[in-house]
Amino acid sequence: MLRIPFEDLYAALHRAMRQLGLSEDRAAHCARLFAETTRDGIYTHGLNRFPRFSETVRNGSVDVNAEPTKTAGLGAIERWDGHRGVGNLNAHASMERAIALATQNGIGAVALANTNHWMRGGTYGWQAADQGLFAICWTNTLANLPVWGATTPTLGNNPIVIAIPRLRGHVVLDMAMSQFSYGSLSAYSKRGQHLPVDGGFDSAGNLTKDATAIEASQRALPIGYWKGSGLSLVLDMMAAILSGGLSTHEIPLDPLRESGISQIFIAIDPRSLSTAEAINRIADGILQSLRDATPVDPAKPIRYPGEQTLQLREENLRLGVPVDPEIWRQISDPSRA
């Protein structure tokens, strides 16, 4: 891997976004979201995702000029249509609107239909937490996860994000309904490494740590077995029903044409109920109890969700952001982007 200064990464992505047809302000914003995702160590959904994003723009699945519009609303909840625009821009705008509603009402929710892949879901949890708000958001996806007891993909891995603001470092949980996202499976497969725990089934129906075998069978393992399967189902139902958009079984199965997905963004302003001091005291106490637990391996201290992100962010800003050499060559050369 190469290490590239963050601003160089951002500049290359900005130029590439302009070449894809995004207007100046939207290109700058989209590039910043991609670059920050890579900076924070979520490489599968940052720069490494850019070639796939480019292809969805070129094949017409993503409309770079489309912006979300409000279609309905009552009180603290609203329904918006993303018009198949750029997924991370639609998601960022939706969370910002949920934050505005929460600031007015204590809680705010936006149900977004007809959008595209939001890239790193955790982005929108950090977005709310940085403004002092709790966040819950999720998305449905194309069918890439077998319902428990079946062999064919029926559910989406439907990532969910839960964020808690905290002065000494936000807690941000960002997880898919599969034990490993397909981006993670691809990364392990590319490195020729086995997964640390079983992540799915091989073609013979056996649980395996072989990421390549799981990619071939398309039988990723739901988190918690049948529990993750059930959670994936209800997240899809809520997203599709509240947004009036597509559910997983209606989304195109081709990953390069995955479009029209449904998402939910909820923000909660805890300051309507408590003081910042009380919020931090409770959060710090909970995390201290976590750290007091006896680790299995003393060399690996207990971490809370989001802690490694902060560590990688600092390291990558100081040393340079790790990038795939081939993708970097493509994006840093204007003639190849």
Catalytic site positions: 45
Both tokens assigned to 299: 């060399």
The Cα 247–Cα 234 span in angstroms is: 11
Amino acid code (one letter) for 319 = L
- Measure Cα distances from 100 to 68, 90, 163, 271 in Å: 16, 15, 17, 14
Could you tell me which of 323, 329, 330, 337 has the C-alpha nearest to residue 48?
A: 323
* Strand duo 69-74 + 77-81: pairing: antiparallel
Amino acid code (one letter) for 259 = S
In contact, 249 and 143? CB cutoff 8 Å: yes
Opening angle at CA 13, ends 182 and 57, nearest 5: 60
Cα 106 to its chain centre, rounded Å, is 25
In this structure, what are the phi and psi dihedrals at residue 239, rounded to the nearest 5 degrees? -65, -45
Please, what's the largest Cα pairwise distance for the chain?
A: 55
Q: Is the dihedral of CA 319, 320, 324, 328 positive or negative?
A: negative
